[in-house]
Amino acid sequence: MKEILRSTDPTAIAFSTALLRAEDIDCFVLDVHMSVLEGGIGLFPRRLMVADRDAFRARAILADNDVDGLVR
């Protein structure tokens, strides 16, 4: 799996997930439960992962939609 997005903004993660799923790209969000450790202040970023074969297409989709936090 490849990391394509890293953000502390939960709306950016949700929007990106919706975009990718609409294009039939499976994705997985890591570090969702870190807020328990940090006290809910948004210190640790969440990471959006996709399969290696989908990484190029996923980055292109998110770039076309001006999503901030893309990992190159």
Amino acid 33: pLDDT: 82
Q: What is the pLDDT along the chain (72 residues), one digit of tens a residue?
A: 999 999 988 899 999 999 999 999 999 999 888 766 666 666 788 999 999 999 999 999 999 999 988 887
**Token match 């499976």: residue?**
26
What are the residue ranges of helices labelled H in 1-72? 10-22, 35-38, 55-64
